[in-house]
Amino acid sequence: MIRTLAGDQLTAQDVYDIWKIRDAVFAVEQQVDEEEVDGRDLLATTTHLWLEDTEGPTSYLRVYVGSDGTRHVGRVCTRKDQRGKGLSGRLMAEINRLWGDGDLQLNAQAYLERWYESFGYVRSGDDYLEAGIVHTPMSRTAGR
């Protein structure tokens, strides 16, 4: 079952578990040395979605509303021991179900561009370097 909570509904344990998977993937595996906590996680306009097992989240992402009112998808990650099972795909399908009638934006790690295309996202700008990783801006317009 997909857990879905607004940032202002998260318990301390939820926050810990979310930050634990994000730290394992982004800081440890990908060696991103920029701050991961950006002030958006606890906002009522941020929605966290994840799948979990007895060890905690197996796959995770968040959707936040930017200052322009557009929803942004980010922090998409899957625990190393759970990859290849379609878990992040289930989460992406869920956000398309929840917000498919509006515009969605994301900044994909460039090697995942084709994967995001399979969920209706298209390139919306030039590649750029963020946190030492090449990213591709992508968007999904309403109804796609």
Domains along the chain?
3-101 (3.40.630.30)
Query: How, if at all, do strands 104-109 and 3-6 pair?
Result: unpaired
How much is the pLDDT for 104?
A: 96
Q: What is the pTM of this model?
A: 0.93
- CA separation for the pair 21, 31 (Å, rounded): 14
- What pLDDT does residue 106 have? 96
Alpha carbons 142 and 144: distance in angstroms, whole number = 6
Residue 28 confidence (pLDDT): 84
- Confidence (pLDDT) at 41: 96
Which residues of the chain carry a pLDDT beneath 50? Answer: none
Closest by alpha carbon to 25, among 79, 81, 62, 82? 79
- pLDDT for 135 equals 94
What is the CA 115 to chain-centroid distance, rounded? Answer: 14
Looking at residue 33, its pLDDT comes to: 75
| CA 137/CA 125 separation, integer angstroms | 6
Q: How confident is the model at residue 144, as a pLDDT?
A: 59
Candidates 12, 21, 16, 72; CA nearest to 47 is 72
- In order, the DSSP letters of 57-70 are EEEEEEEEE-TTS-
